[in-house]
Structures are given as C-alpha cells and as structure tokens.
Chain A
Amino acid sequence: MSPKPPSPRDEIRALTEARLTFGPRGRAIATPEALAFALDHARARAAVAAELDLPALASALGRLGMAHRTVTSAAGDRATFIRRPDLGRRLPETEAAQLADAYPCDVALVLGDGLSATAVALNGVAFLSALFDRLTAMGLRLSPVILARQARVALGDGIARAMGAQTVVMALGERPGLSAADSLGAYVIHLPRPDTPDSARNCISNIRNAGLPVAEAADQAARLIAAMRATGQSGVDLSRAMAAGTLPR
C-alpha cells in the first residue's frame, strides 16, 4: 500500500511557517492561536532575559577537556546590555588584564550570551567542541573558551587583542524570533582592531537543530579561518574572493 499523498494543508505547512488562517474566518484571531502566539512571545522574552548558566557550561566544557575563563562586558547587567549595545561591545580593562596571562594562542574561542542565552545552552558547547577538533587538527593553538556575559559581537575583538590572538570566533545567541529562540550565530574575524567595521566580519547564522547543523557550521567556520589565515583578509573582501573561486576551499 502506498503512503497517503500529502493533503493540500500538509503541503502548505511544508512551504511556510506563516500563521495562516484556515477554515472559517472570525473577526478576531481564535483563542488557541492567540494563546499560542503569547506562548511563543513569552519563550522569546525568556530567551532574551536569560543569563548564561556558567556552572553548567563549565562542567560541559570540562567533560570535553576544554579549559575556560569568564568575562563580563562593560554593560554589567541584562537591562543595561539591552539598551546600551556600545557597552556590550566594550571589554573593561580589569577584565582584559585577567586574560593577559593566558598561554599564547592563534585563535580565540568566545561563547557569549548575545540576545539568547537559551541558544547558547542548547548548542554553544557542541558547536565550539566541533570547531575545537577541526582547528586542533589544522595545528592551530586555541585559547581557553571565553564565556562572555552581556556580550555583543564586537566584544570578541577586545578579547582577542587581550590574548594576542590573530583570529577570533564569537559564537552567541541571535535575536529570538517568534518561531525560533534557539538560534546561534558565529562571527569570525581576522586581525581585529579597536574600530573593526562589521563589513570585516564573516557570519554563520541560524545554527540550531532545525536550521544549520552544528557540524556543518563548524566546517564552515574552520574553512573561513583557514582562508583568513592564508590571505590575511576577512569579511566582505574574503566572501568575494571565496565566491569568485580564487581561494582554495
């Protein structure tokens, strides 16, 4: 017996996650859909408000034999972090000084809360450990994993400079949508400066169970790092060169 062909509604569900109204249309959104929306919003808000679970992350990294350090941006707390992205990008001098005694490394690995500590809790360690294996196999010296609280993307630049690393990977929670609060983004940059423009970063986004798998994201990040270290380029310039096929893949 052949499987039942998909119904038009199944076909539509496969095409789009839009909150379409099927069947009779009332003036208002029906109660189940209205409450489902409220639940999704609450989940997104919870992800934004969440703090990094430092003990859980430390023990997960420890089990994989990966060392770690912890830093907090100049934003200090969650409410300030949301309103002041400039502070979330800045590493206080006292925090930078604590990193200066780490052993020399080529690549700094940073795991920041960003706008969803939920995403970090779900996929952060898995992504960094997959990347750790690939970069170690390439013969690169890696930093301890820096767990960064109240962190925006550019906080990684200061961390890399404090540790003397040429390349930095900043993995952090992306702004939650209603349908996904667990999306991790990874930003890679080579030779960060105090005023690195965003156009010099390469981004791998939507790393989550229902999006880009962790292993594939780690492959992409490792390729980017290899290309950056071979050419000295990063960001838009590197993407152009890679798209044009002028770089070894």
Chain B
Amino acid sequence: MKAAVITFPGSNRDGDVAKALKQAGATVAHIWHADTELPAGTDLVVLPGGFSYGDYLRTGAIAGRANIMDATRAHAERGGYVLGICNGFQIVCEAGLLPGILMRNADLKFVCKRQHLTVERTDTPYTNAYTKGQVIDVCIAHGEGNYIADTETLARLEGEGLVAFRYADAQGRVTAAANPNGSQNNIAGIYSPKLNVLGLMPHPENLIDSLTGGIDGRGMFASLMSGKRAA
C-alpha cells in the first residue's frame, strides 16, 4: 500500500503515523500541504495530528482549505482512503469530507490520557483486523474533540452504521463518565458513507509498540494493509 502523509504548518504527528504505516508494511511519501498533487498510485492519504496553523480561526479550518485538500477530496471521491487523526479529523470535517465539527471540550480542558474505545464494526477497511466487540486501549490528546452534528446528521450516522469508535470504559460500557470531551453519543470517530474516509480523535499511531505502552493501535494499520475492501 502506498500512503501519502500530509504535513501542514503545525503538524506534529506526521513522523509517528509514518512509522506506524511503515511498521505495517506501507510505503510512505511525505507531502507538503502547498503541493497540488498526490503521488501517482496513492492508496491512502493521511492527515496527521498537530496544531495546523496554530488552530487559528477554528481548528482545522485553514488547513481544510489548503492546496492539497483539492487533490485529497478528488482522491476520496474516487473511493481512495483518507484517514484523519486528531487535528486531521478536524481538518476533514472542515474540508467537508465528513459531516459535523469538533468543538472545544465540554469542560474546556485539554485532555491527554489513555482512553478505551469500542470498535463499532469490524467489516471496514480500517477495522477488519480487530475482533467483533473489541475494546481497545489507545491515547487521546486534544482540546477540541467534542463532536457535534445536527440532529438529522447524527441520526443518519447512527442509522447507517457510520460511527467507527466510541469512548468507553475498560469494560466497553459507553457511559457519560467515559466521555472525555462531551462528544454526542460518545463519538470518537466516524466514517464516510462508503467507509473510505475515517476521522477519529484518538491516536492509534501511539500504540504500536509494547515498549511504549501497548499495541492496540496496530490493528488499524494492519486492517488497511489487509487489502479487504468495505463489506
């Protein structure tokens, strides 16, 4: 699999996600936000975490209008994979690739901690290496992760099975106490209708080595490499 990791001014997780992708077997190209084209044969575009443009205006707002986003949008429309992690999730929402928006955390605090997630379905290109009902232990680090969408959009996401991950406790219980940021329905990540675009606030790329805390993040990268398309 050929991955293109986009670097914006203020991205800071591009190196980590590239490492996770390479570990899983991908070849990785680093692409600058001002570029207008993706390398030929790109399968996966990754928008990494960070603080693009210093979070000015709204998180992800300016990056969402960067040159490379036109090519990224076209890639998604062709059915190509687009993965937005943390600031990348904010960027894909601002770019209109996924609905809704990430607002300031409900308690106004930047939250940086380990977090359990439920894997809502395991028949997608991003989660087929996980087992049904699996609860994974990953990291979150964000100040604006409070997922908000209008009632109609939320009903559509839920109705069409487009919620990818939810914040949960270690037993997989999706409770208000396990919600770190106030997101509606504990939403931690969502898919596009064709399941080729995924945006999520947690950082699976942090959990790829038992030396640094765990390997529950590997499943996402392994899933992508498996070549299984959406069910």
Q: Do these two chains really belong together in a complex?
A: no
